[in-house]
Amino acid sequence: MSDPATEPTRRAIVGAALTLAPLLTQPALAASPAKASAAPREGHHAFAFQTGTWRVRHRKLRHRLAGSDEWVNFTGRCSAWELLDGAANVEDQFLDDPGGAYRAVGFRRIDPATRLWSIWWFDERSSVVEPPVTGRFVDGLGTFLAEDQLNGRPITVRYLWSGVEGDAPRWEQAFSPDRGVTWETNWIMQFERLS
């Protein structure tokens, strides 16, 4: 039985999922020859490096912002493709977490006015959609930030993308309890290209 307090949130999530479903299940259409030779617009195609299939090595801190140094290592798979002629990107993840395997989806979209990317993470274990992190790539390093909460405490979330020039990009998530003065990295994904 559904909880009346959460029903509007559930409706919004289901509506968003139904809207995004065609985008998340269809690989990107091939660009026309004219578009393929055109130079990318600033900010567009920033996630083109991720297009393809990947083996992913995960390293997650067991307890976040708790002084823990216990890491959990596991593997996963990822498929990613561009949408909207490079103005959006989807990654479909399978995570073989020892605590229980699950699927997740990352959806990214550039704001044409600010040229900032927003990244949303959808995890099948929860109906909660976290606030997007927002940012851009500068000199090959992508930095994306958001304000959020962890156990009722305000935190800043940071995603870093590095190594995007080759076939082994790296993603890191870190939390800051003090508005970016100190950071604790709590999740690392090392990608290895399969195709």
- The values of phi and psi at residue 24, to 5°, are -80, -15
Look-up of token digits 């976040």 = 64
Look-up of token digits 């958001």 = 146
- Give, in order, the Cα–Cα distances in Å from 165 to each of 49, 50, 114, 170: 7, 10, 24, 11
Q: Say how far apart CA 51 and CA 129 lie, in whole Å.
A: 24
- Helical (H) or strand (E) element with 89: strand 88-95
The answer to whether the CB of 144 falls within 8 A of the CB of 134 is yes
Residue type at 111 in one-letter notation = D
Residues of the chain with pLDDT under 50: 1-41
Check residue 129 and give its pLDDT. Answer: 84
pTM of the predicted structure, to 2 decimals: 0.80
Look-up of token digits 């009346």 = 4
DSSP letter, residue 125:
T
Q: Three-state DSSP class for 49?
A: helix
Check residue 43 and give its pLDDT. Answer: 83
The answer to whether the CB of 129 falls within 8 A of the CB of 16 is yes
DSSP letter, residue 160:
E
Rg for the chain, CA atoms, rounded? 17
